[in-house]
């Protein structure tokens, strides 16, 4: 055995895992294990692909499509561990590997999906698919593989393939750098609050979180506001110091836009130009046309119509809200014009006046542990699932938790990991991912699903308290988690959340509705000191205030969706100035001066840290049309946990992966496709004929 063989033999990423439920042996994995494991896994899949492509046997579903599906298992395992940690618990060594591997992995993918001999075998099967005797799932897998090959450039000539390969490799590097730049800006910023005067207006939960953040940064005895949403948003809501609010807000808005080494504007310009070139090589007029052709929406015009239909009433509502905030400021003697850093501060006062409801009153009833239990109880009542917490399991960070998930008969469904707290080694936001996806092709493979959040950790001996929005985020991500856990397919390509971006948000956004069910809140919204359930009158006020500030929330989201779509449907991308383009687009739609985009372009990781949501940020709204209509189906029965509806929901949505076209899947559940009416009602927006 050579030294290299010995190193591979001792590499924990490449040896069988004897851990509970096959969890990765996190404590045994060091940064130096990743590159050798990647190299081994890449070479292994290249050998497997070569054997398929060069086979002298006539192509069959088994020797071509199933063989493709079986290939690359080691690479999936290694990549599953690495990329989850690169997002949730990174360091300089992992970031260096991430930059190094991005173009390597893109090149590897190109070598598969641009392989002419391999494509010929797939195309031959696709041409005679009706005569192959395939079942519906096999037919779907063949159709999806053919689509993937064509969209990856398999039908292009040699020179076009070469150029497209260079583009995708470069885009992979740019996306990685974009994401790392945003994380660097978030990690480096801290607003130090020194003394009681700086803390004026801040409630105890925020003071405790800020003290904890300061201690983590070696500033014991002080308080620090970070650019994590769980820190900055409540600070903007409560701080009485307008100058400090402005300072923190501008830092938040300027992530990736500081004219320094982590500035992302040049990356945006190059990314947009390369995406447009890629689309043209593949026969599309714009990148938006290319990207949307394989989604439920199909065309940019369909997306634009939905955005505009909701924009008019949302903007009108936001302008009414702005007037209310201005009046509130004047009423307490603040002779100012409302600015973006003022909105949350005065909105909290207006909400208090209108609904007698403020965050400091609500938060004590929303303990993280109890809301986790509420999300599990909802899954139990809808889908018969139960959750048993694991006490002894491998961890990549001391704070993570894990549960075994079982069905109504006590059978193992999968493993769920929760990683809930903000830290400097974690990128911002909240997401679901998989260390392992469900499938039956290579055995009864059960999923390992993770939810990652950025909640503020409670002080020593204190529970972590959530805002109602935080609690909704937890339910949202657990909805994604259930989409992965309940997956019930044979082929890996179709498993779990492997659906189009404008359908993938349906299970997550739909799940949010159950948080607002009074019987869930009565049972799980309990005071962290007394254990008393949330008072009925407070619950009524909370429900009555659900659509408060909805104009603001809808406008900040829609603005981001407009900018994303307009950028990617633009034909001339030479000399793109990202900031100027953003400003022009916002002016064109009539963006209120007092609100900024939810994600400004220089830190819009959904769109620029990879292709995931590029031209696709509209997906949350598209899926919201579906989720609002889908929950109405439950309401029409008079029971939010109706057994028949829950069974259909599980069969056609949560467990079905990508077995069907999204429109077909939704129709199988609901009996018809939805309209936007339920969405406008859900958000409390009435259609406006003209802007107010």
Contact 114, 154 (CB under 8 A): yes
Q: How confident is the model at residue 406 (pLDDT cuts 50, 70, 90)?
A: very high
Contact 514, 378 (CB under 8 A): yes
Arithmetic mean of pLDDT, 488-492 = 98
Q: Where in the chain is the domain with CATH 1.10.1370.40?
A: 3-113+115-155
What average pLDDT is seen over the chain? 95
- Nearest CA to 399 out of 454, 447, 436 is that of 454
Arithmetic mean of pLDDT, 452-471 = 92
Counting every residue, how long is the chain?
692
Cα–Cα distance measured from residue 137 to residue 691, given in angstroms and rounded to the nearest whole number: 48
**Does residue 459 have a pLDDT over 90?**
no
Choice among 66, 98, 477, 556 that is catalytic: 477
Cα–Cα distance measured from residue 453 to residue 480, given in angstroms and rounded to the nearest whole number: 13
The pLDDT score that the predictor gives to residue 690 is 30
**Does residue 1 have a pLDDT over 70?**
no
Q: How confident is the model at residue 675 (pLDDT cuts 50, 70, 90)?
A: confident
Cα–Cα distance measured from residue 550 to residue 408, given in angstroms and rounded to the nearest whole number: 39
Q: How confident is the model at residue 637 (pLDDT cuts 50, 70, 90)?
A: very high
**Does residue 688 have a pLDDT over 50?**
no
| Coil vs helix vs strand at 415 | strand
Q: Starting from the edge strand earliest in sequence, which strands make up the sheet with 412-421, in order?
A: 386-389, 401-406, 412-421, 448-455, 431-436
Q: How confident is the model at residue 686 (pLDDT cuts 50, 70, 90)?
A: low
The pLDDT score that the predictor gives to residue 244 is 98
**Does residue 531 have a pLDDT over 60?**
yes
The pLDDT score that the predictor gives to residue 6 is 59
- Per-position b or e across 559-588, b if 16+ CB within 10 A of its CB: bbbbbbbbbbbbeebeebebeebbeebbee
Arithmetic mean of pLDDT, 19-43 = 98
Q: Which residue in this structure is represented by tokens 């999204």? A: 662
- Nearest CA to 371 out of 468, 482, 460 is that of 468
Cα dihedral: 657, 663, 666, 670 (round 10): -160
**Does residue 377 have a pLDDT over 50?**
yes
The whole model's pTM is what? 0.94
In the CATH hierarchy, which fold is given to the domain comprising 3-113+115-155? 1.10.1370
Q: Token digits for 409?
A: 């008969």
pLDDT in tens, 205-253: 899 999 999 999 999 999 999 999 889 999 999 999 999 999 999 999 9
Question: What is the residue-wise DSSP string for 555-598?
Answer: HHHHHHHHHHHHHHT-S--TT--HHHHHHHHHHHHT--TT---S
Architecture of domain 364-497 in this structure: 3-Layer(aba) Sandwich (3.40)
Active site residue 566: no
| Helix intervals (H) in 217-367 | 229-238, 242-253, 265-281, 287-292, 300-331, 343-355, 359-362
**Does residue 643 have a pLDDT over 60?**
yes
Arithmetic mean of pLDDT, 312-330 = 97
Cα–Cα distance measured from residue 11 to residue 13, given in angstroms and rounded to the nearest whole number: 5
Q: Where in the chain is the domain with CATH 3.40.390.10?
A: 364-497
- Report the sign of the C-alpha dihedral through residues 666, 667, 670, 676, in that order: positive
Q: Token digits for 207?
A: 């003071």
Arithmetic mean of pLDDT, 169-197 = 96
Arithmetic mean of pLDDT, 118-136 = 98
Q: Which residue in this structure is represented by tokens 């080694």? A: 425
Cα dihedral: 141, 143, 146, 148 (round 10): -70
Ramachandran quadrant class, 178 (left: phi over 0; alpha: psi -120 to 50; beta: rest): alpha
Q: How confident is the model at residue 127 (pLDDT cuts 50, 70, 90)?
A: very high
pLDDT in tens, 254-303: 999 999 999 999 999 999 999 999 999 999 999 999 999 999 999 999 99
């Amino acid at each position: 055995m050579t030294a290299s063989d010995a190193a591979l033999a001792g590499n924990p990423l490449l040896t069988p895992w004897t851990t509970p439920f096959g969890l990765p042996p996190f404590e045994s994995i060091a940064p130096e294990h990743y590159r050798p494991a990647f190299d081994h896994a890449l070479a292994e899949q290249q050998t497997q692909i070569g054997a398929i492509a060069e086979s002298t046997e006539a192509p069959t579903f088994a020797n071509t499509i199933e063989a493709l599906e079986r290939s690359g298992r080691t690479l999936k395992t290694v990549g599953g561990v690495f990329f989850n940690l690169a997002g949730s618990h990174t360091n300089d060594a992992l970031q260096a590997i991430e930059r190094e591997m991005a173009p390597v992995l893109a090149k590897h993918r190109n070598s598969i999906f641009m392989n002419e001999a391999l494509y010929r075998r797939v195309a031959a099967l696709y041409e005679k698919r009706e005569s192959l005797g395939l079942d519906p799932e096999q037919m779907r897998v063949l159709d999806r593989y053919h689509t993937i090959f064509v969209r990856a450039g398999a039908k292009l000539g040699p020179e076009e393939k070469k150029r497209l390969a260079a583009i995708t490799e470069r885009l992979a590097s740019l996306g990685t750098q974009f994401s790392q730049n945003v994380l660097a800006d978030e990690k480096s910023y801290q607003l130090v609050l020194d003394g009681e005067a700086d803390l004026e207006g801040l409630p105890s939960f925020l003071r405790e979180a800020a003290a904890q953040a300061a201690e983590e940064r070696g500033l014991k005895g002080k308080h620090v506001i970070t650019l994590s949403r769980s820190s900055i948003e409540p600070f903007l809501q409560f701080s009485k110091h307008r100058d400090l609010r402005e300072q923190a807000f501008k830092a938040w808005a300027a992530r990736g836009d500081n004219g320094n080494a982590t500035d992302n504007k040049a990356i945006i310009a190059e990314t947009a130009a390369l995406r447009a070139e890629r689309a043209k090589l593949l026969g599309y007029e714009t990148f938006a046309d290319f990207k949307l052709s394989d989604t439920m929406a199909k065309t940019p015009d369909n997306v634009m119509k939905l955005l505009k239909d909701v924009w008019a009433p949302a903007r009108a509502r936001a302008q009414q809200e702005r007037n209310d905030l201005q009046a509130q400021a004047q009423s307490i003697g603040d002779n100012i014009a409302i600015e973006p850093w003022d909105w949350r501060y005065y909105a909290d006062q207006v909400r208090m006046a209108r609904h007698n409801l403020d965050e400091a009153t609500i938060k004590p009833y929303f303990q993280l542990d109890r809301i986790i239990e509420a999300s599990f109880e909802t899954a139990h009542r809808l889908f018969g699932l139960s959750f048993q917490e694991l006490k002894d399991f491998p961890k990549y960070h001391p704070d993570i938790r894990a549960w075994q998930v079982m069905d109504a008969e006590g059978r193992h469904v999968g493993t769920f990991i929760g990683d809930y707290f903000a830290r400097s080694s974690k990128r911002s936001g909240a997401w679901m991912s998989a260390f392992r996806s469900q499938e039956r092709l290579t055995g009864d493979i059960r999923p390992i699903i993770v939810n990652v959040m950025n909640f503020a950790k409670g002080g020593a001996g204190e529970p972590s308290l959530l805002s109602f929005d935080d609690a909704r985020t937890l339910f949202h991500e657990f909805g994604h988690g259930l989409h992965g856990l309940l997956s019930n397919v044979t082929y890996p390509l179709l498993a779990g959340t492997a659906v189009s971006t404008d359908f993938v948000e349906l299970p997550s956004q739909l799940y949010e509705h159950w948080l607002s069910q009074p019987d869930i809140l009565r049972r799980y919204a309990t005071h962290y000191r007394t254990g008393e359930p949330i008072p009925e009158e407070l619950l009524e006020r909370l429900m009555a205030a659900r659509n408060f500030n909805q104009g603001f929330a809808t406008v900040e989201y829609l603005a981001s969706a407009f900018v994303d779509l307009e950028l990617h449907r633009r034909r001339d991308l030479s000399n793109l100035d990202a900031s100027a383009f953003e400003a022009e687009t916002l002016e064109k739609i009539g963006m209120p001066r007092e609100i900024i985009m939810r994600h400004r372009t220089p830190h819009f990781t959904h769109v620029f840290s990879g292709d995931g949501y590029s031209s696709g940020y509209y997906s949350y709204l598209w899926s919201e049309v579906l989720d609002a209509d889908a929950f109405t189906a439950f309401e029409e029965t008079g029971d939010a946990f109706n057994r028949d509806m829950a069974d259909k929901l599980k069969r056609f949505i949560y467990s079905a992966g990508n077995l069907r076209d999204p429109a077909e899947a939704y129709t199988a559940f609901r009996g018809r496709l939805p309209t936007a009416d339920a969405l406008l009602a859900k958000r409390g927006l009435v259609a406006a004929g003209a802007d107010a």
